[in-house]
Amino acid sequence: MDVIWEDNYALVVNKPNGLLTTAARGVESLEIQLLEFFKQRSGEESPYVGMPHRIDRPVSGAVLIGKTRSATKQFCAQFQSRKIEKTYVAIVSGTPTEPTGTWRDWMRKISDRAEAEIVDAEHPEAKQAILNYELLASVGDLSCLRIGLETGRTHQIRLQAAHRGFPIVGDSLYGSQIDFGPQSTEPRKRPIALHARQIVFRHPKNGKATSVLVDVPEVWRTLGFHEVLKEGELCG
């Protein structure tokens, strides 16, 4: 288990690409791995693992976990009230015209598919999606973006980027034609170049802002951005 930060109330782990955050019983997930991790470490038969936070299966990076029911409840409230700051980095095809900007759309989750789409604001299932981006670097036809979420919709970053002609590398669901990292025969397990880089939350005990950074995977080296992010801390 790649634990990045931990105390008596919570921990932040680095979820690898291709692993579900939570899943039905019997399906491999980060939640199941955490249960086993805590069992082996503490000797408890049924340790508590609170899952107030999740990221998409093909996405890597920071996931916040509650170690007590009280902490988990507080984190859920913080997510609900948008008090938790989530920053991602993404490698996309193409380069935005402006170095910084805000993307605003209306989108919906397609109920019978693991997919989302842009819709009109008047659509009965429409939910507003807002993010802020910053262009960090470009290498050839690829660009690295820092993304701050104002809303947290399913597949939000993936859809909004693709909608503007900047599909995330490896994300064939939303139009990418570039492979990224180890390939699987199961498309849903294939990694994409989207990483939950930083999370800032209020500590459940003392209320202090707590910031945790998670380094990008080594596979990012193949696209030329790993060292820029690691050495420059451009996403810190």
Which residues carry out catalysis?
56
Q: How far apart are CA 131 and CA 84, in angstroms?
A: 14
**Rg over CA atoms, the chain:** 18
Are residues 210 and 199 in contact, defined by beta-carbon separation less than 8 angstroms? no
Instruction: Output the CA–CA distances (angstroms, integers) from residue 45 to 39, 52, 67, 165, in the order listed.
Output: 6, 22, 15, 49
> Which three-class secondary structure state does DSSP give residue 34?
helix
Residue 138 CB burial class (10 angstroms; 0-12, 13-18, ≥19): middle
Q: How far apart are CA 50 and CA 66, in angstroms?
A: 4
User: How many CB atoms are located within 10 Å of the residue 3 CB?
Assistant: 12
Adjacent-strand bridge partners of 201: 210
Tokens of 181: 């990292």
Tokens of 211: 């910031």
